[in-house]
Amino acid sequence: MPLANTRDLTDVQWKMLDDLIPEPMRRRDGRGRPWKDRRAVLNGILWVLRTGAPWADVPERYPSYQTCHRRFQQWVRSGVMKGILETLALDLKARGVLDVEEAFIDGSFAPAKKGALKSGRPKRGKGTKVMAVADRHGLPVAVFVESATPHEVKLAVPTLIQMVIPEAPQNLIGDNAYDSDKLDVELRQYGIELIAPHRSNRRNKSQDARRLRRYRRRWKVERLFAWLQNFRRLVVRYERYAENFLGMLHLGCCLILLRHI
């Protein structure tokens, strides 16, 4: 029997995920191919996430690459990946580990391999904008993907809508790309205070210099992106559809949170 990879899910980690991954529905007549073990399938998917290798290269110690890929797509469509992330985040919040009194927002760019689509429309020569919100400790509490075209300031609210805990940040800290009076007004409606250094061409200075001291801690969201890019499948977007790339992003965030439980 093939040896397990030392980077596979531990027994403790799987115990936390077991109830969050549904058992496959079986045919009433009992016929059809036997379903593979969910833990083995998930480990195969995580191997692709970590290595960035093609699905066809999934090692023999895991179920077939067709099984891993098919089950991954099923779980993405049914919301399993985001559901796991939400459950882990709520668990950490209950333990006092997650804290969004202060949160950080930033965006990164993932070039797309030929054939990647966003909402069914080809984006020739472009990539994907990856947005993330980190809590005060740098842990992921929201991720969002969009085409590379929109400016980050326009993606701030859509990203916050994807928060995986039912609590908005009190202070949202970003770089000068988020210096926008319109965004400031919009966030105040949600009870969120925007803290971002002014753009060099701004005439009316409105930020309190004392509050801007919080900006020094923005490195925490930059560290989050560094953690995410340790998963090679997130460095370049290989997934044809954006929802599958987002599913991989959710899985990467899940692994980060599992390290803190």
The CATH number for 195's domain is: 3.30.420
Spatial distance between the Cα atoms of 67 and 24, rounded to a whole number of angstroms: 12
- Report how far residue 232's alpha carbon sits from residue 176's, in angstroms, rounded to the nearest whole number: 29
Domain count, the chain: 2
Spatial distance between the Cα atoms of 102 and 96, rounded to a whole number of angstroms: 14
pLDDT at 214: 75
- Amino acid 236: pLDDT: 94
Contacts of 217 (CB under 8 A, 6+ apart): 102, 104, 136, 173
- pTM for this structure? 0.88
pLDDT attached to residue 49: 98
Per-residue pLDDT, 142: 99
pLDDT < 50 stretches in the chain? 1-3, 32, 119-125
60 and 22 in a common domain? yes
Task: Transcribe 208-244 into DSSP letters.
Answer: -TTGGGGGGGGHHHHHHHHHHTTSGGGTSB--SSHHH
181 occurs within a structural domain: yes
Same domain, 44 and 103: no
Q: Which residue range is the domain that position 59 belongs to?
A: 11-78
Q: How far apart are CA 165 and CA 179, in angstroms?
A: 25
User: Do 169 and 205 belong together in one domain?
Assistant: yes
